[in-house]
Structure 1
Amino acid sequence: MANEQTETFLITGGGGYFGFRLACSLHEQGLNVVLFDVRPPAHQLPDGMAFCQGDICDYGQVEQAVHGMDCVFHSASYGMSGREQLNRRLIEEVNVGGTEHVLRACVEHSVPRLVYTSTFNVVFGGQVIEEGDESLSYLPLHLHPDHYSRTKSIAEMEVLKANGAKLKNGTGVLRTCALRPAGIYGPGEQRHLPRIMGYIESGIFKFVYGDPRSLVEFVHVDNLVLAHDLAARALTRGQQYRAAGQPYFISDGRPVNNFEFFRPLVEGLGYTFPRVRLPITLIYFFAFLTEMAHHLIGRVYNFQPLLTRTEVYKTGVTHYFSMKKAQAHLGYEPREYNLDEVVSWFRSRGHGKKQGAPPSRRLLLKTMIVAAFIAAVLSCLPVVGQ
């Protein structure tokens, strides 16, 4: 990057798994890095890296953090999975309102570059997509089955629309781009893998669902870090601003069945991979019932849904994308990773097969199976009046 030794980078959501990993990579290159988040990282900051505690929903705090930056990586978001997906108010405030705050602050404080961490979901809503590319239209907002995807779509459109906005000091314009990653994995990932591990260890992971030929994609955290680094470079004059105003799909480039992807984790920790396969319609209906139950009692008991409807189609419906544009514009070439390091990470923390499952967990499993059976029966009953 131009003037690398003097540039300073802000990472919103820097206290999270990906944000901190990105920060460490930039720091190792000798760059100045500031993390902005409501909570500090779980790991100790390297010498020379700064942490600014603040809420992206508070413009004053965002403005203070953005001041003096040469580039902002905007990765803060809320509502990606689990019960977070059901908190519509906070999802809107963080994903839409927070992005508006970041864009406004960049213009006000003359920050010339912004890289936005988006999602596949801006074009995917449960329909089959094979080798899709950036020419695909945004999924119409009213068709998004979850509020996270809808708000991320709105935010990405605003980010790309802001490309070319005149900076307040009158010396240039803001240049933006958006990266659309697949599901992130890697050792120490704290959003999805611990939840999956909980299902495995509790004995709940007794079946898979959907067509065994369905394919999805994942991206190793270090490949995503690489893509962000390259995107920031591609927003500079030295690279003809070629990423300005552009979205890019980012993954490992290896479509795989969702459950087969996790087989090495299950078996690597000594568990038996499920042989039972259920229809995706049954699981989707079960997820719908779970969401309805959460809507009714969530304020009293904010339980973690086993699955949401969005998670069902994201894991069971084919959707994968071409990375030719990222390769051509950014020079992105993903490195090959597997789950060996993830298995080692969990084993080093005492995870692995133990004798028997706790009675409470067995009861939960039985309850889930009974509920799924009831859902299947109900779904087959005729509708009154037809």
Structure 2
Amino acid sequence: MENADTDTFLITGGCGYFGYRLACSLHKKGAKIILFDIVPANQEVPEDMVFVQGDIRDYTQVEKAITGVDCVFHIASYGMSGREQLNRHLIEEVNVQGTHNILKACVEHGVSRLVFTSTFNVVFGGQVIENGDESLPYLPLHLHPDHYSRTKSLAEMAVLKANGTVLKGGSGVLTTCALRPAGIYGPGEQRHLPRIVGYIEKGIFRFVYGKPISLVEFVHVDNLVSAHELAAEALTPERQHCSAGQAYFISDGKPVNNFEFFRPLIEGLGYPFPRLRLPISLIYFLAFLTEMIHHLISPFYNFQPLLTRTEVYKTGVTHYFSIAKAKVELRYEPHEYNLDEIVQWFRSKGHGKKHHSSFLSRLLLGSLFVAAFVAVALSFLLVAGN
């Protein structure tokens, strides 16, 4: 990254997996880094990397952290997966109000560059998309199947609308852009991969769903780091602010079936790849029932759903996007990666084939059959009612 040694970067969510990876990459290039997060990093932070503990929902804390910063990477968000997706109030506070706080602080304190980490989901809501590009319209807000996707869409709109806002004191304008990454993977990823490995080791991962030809995308964490660095660079005068006001899809550029993508991880840990394939409609219905149950009992027991409806769509319905715009305007060139390093990482942590819990397996399969029976019964009642 050009001129990194003269810049100070604030990274919201900087102690998370991707945020810290980005911080370390910039730090190696000589940049000054401020990590802004609600919790400290779970690994040792270099002495000259500043950690500011704070919450983006609190404008005073944001304002304190952003003073003297040249560029903000706004990564912090809430509600991406699992039971977090069902906490509407917190999702809206973090993703929408938190983003407005960041934008306001940038304008008030003369920060001229903001790179926002968005998501594929701003245009995707369960419909098939093949090689889509940035000309696709935002999915209408009422069609989003989850609060995370809806609020990230609102946040991205606000970020791109703020592009060109005059900074306080007339010291220039705020330039912004948004990156829409695919599912992130890499060694040490803590959100999705441990959950998948947990399902494998408990014997729950005994089936796949959707069509074998359905395709989705992923992005290695280091490719995503590169894309963010390039996006920030493309907001500078040296690059004619060419990314200002723009959104970019970011992935490895290799559409793949979701379950086939994870085959090397499953087999690398010594487990057989599932042969049972179930219809996506059944899994979606099971996810719907699970969400309803969670809504009823979460005040007493906030359990982790096996899958949410959004996760079923994201893993079982074809949606992949062109990265041509990012290649041309950001000069983004993704490197090739495989899951070998991830398999080795999990093995180094003591993971690998163990005896399954047959009870959990039977319970899951039993739940699927119950869900199927209920679905058939409801269909019959609806037909009879007509």
TM category (shorter chain) comes to over 0.9
What does residue range 286-365 of structure 1 map to in structure 2 within 5 Å? 286-354=286-354, 356-358=355-357, 361-362=360-361, 364-365=363-364
What does residue range 258-269 of structure 1 map to in structure 2 within 5 Å? 258-269=258-269
| 1:328 aligned counterpart, secondary structure | helix
Using the TM superposition, give the Cα deviation of residue 363 of structure 1 relative to its aligned residue in structure 2, in angstroms: 5.1
State the distance in 2 between where 1:239 and 1:185 align.
30
| 1:83 aligned counterpart, secondary structure | helix
Using the TM superposition, give the Cα deviation of residue 359 of structure 1 relative to its aligned residue in structure 2, in angstroms: 5.6
Runs of 4+ in 1 over 4 A off after TM superposition: none
State the distance in 1 between where 2:213 and 2:166 align.
48
Q: Which consecutive unaligned segments of at least 5 residues does structure 2 have?
A: none
Question: Which residue is equivalent to 2:76?
Answer: 76
The amino acid that maps onto 1:368 is: S
Q: Is the 8 A contact 2:4 2:26 kept in 1?
A: no
State the distance in 2 between where 1:211 and 1:26 align.
41
Question: Which residue is equivalent to 1:371?
Answer: 370
State the distance in 2 between where 1:257 and 1:375 align.
29
Identity of aligned residues (%): 72
Q: Which consecutive unaligned segments of at least 5 residues does structure 1 have?
A: none
What is the RMSD of the two structures over their aligned residues, measured on CA atoms? Answer: 1.2
| 2:290 aligned counterpart, secondary structure | helix
Using the TM superposition, give the Cα deviation of residue 364 of structure 1 relative to its aligned residue in structure 2, in angstroms: 3.7
Q: Deviations over 1:44-64 (max 9, x none)?
A: 102311110001110100111
Q: Deviations over 1:258-294 (max 9, x none)?
A: 0000000000000000001000001000100000000
Distance change in 2, residues 1:56/1:297 (3 Å): same
| 1:26 aligned counterpart, secondary structure | helix
| 1:381 aligned counterpart, secondary structure | helix
Using structure 2 for the length normalisation, give the TM-score: 0.97
Q: Deviations over 1:156-186 (max 9, x none)?
A: 0000000000000211000000000000000
Distance change in 2, residues 1:107/1:213 (3 Å): same
Q: Is the 8 A contact 1:203 1:365 kept in 2?
A: no
Using the TM superposition, give the Cα deviation of residue 28 of structure 1 relative to its aligned residue in structure 2, in angstroms: 0.5
| 2:385 aligned counterpart, secondary structure | coil
Using structure 1 for the length normalisation, give the TM-score: 0.97
Question: Which residue is equivalent to 1:221?
Answer: 221
Matching of residue 14 in structure 1 with residue 14 in structure 2: yes
State the distance in 2 between where 1:58 and 1:265 align.
40
The amino acid that maps onto 1:328 is: V
Using the TM superposition, give the Cα deviation of residue 335 of structure 1 relative to its aligned residue in structure 2, in angstroms: 0.3
Q: Is the 8 A contact 2:286 2:371 kept in 1?
A: yes
Question: Which residue is equivalent to 1:165?
Answer: 165
The amino acid that maps onto 2:7 is: E
What does residue range 36-55 of structure 1 map to in structure 2 within 5 Å? 36-55=36-55
State the distance in 2 between where 1:3 and 1:211 align.
47
Distance change in 2, residues 1:279/1:339 (3 Å): same
Using the TM superposition, give the Cα deviation of residue 325 of structure 1 relative to its aligned residue in structure 2, in angstroms: 0.4
Q: Deviations over 1:84-126 (max 9, x none)?
A: 0000000000000000000000000000000000000000011
| 1:241 aligned counterpart, secondary structure | coil
Aligned pair count reads: 385
Matching of residue 93 in structure 1 with residue 93 in structure 2: yes
State the distance in 1 between where 2:299 and 2:58 align.
25
Question: Which residue is equivalent to 2:102?
Answer: 102
State the distance in 1 between where 2:320 and 2:63 align.
37
State the distance in 1 between where 2:270 and 2:166 align.
57
Question: Which residue is equivalent to 1:189?
Answer: 189
State the distance in 1 between where 2:212 and 2:371 align.
20
Question: Which residue is equivalent to 1:252?
Answer: 252
Matching of residue 135 in structure 1 with residue 135 in structure 2: yes
Question: Which residue is equivalent to 1:231?
Answer: 231
State the distance in 2 between where 1:326 and 1:362 align.
43
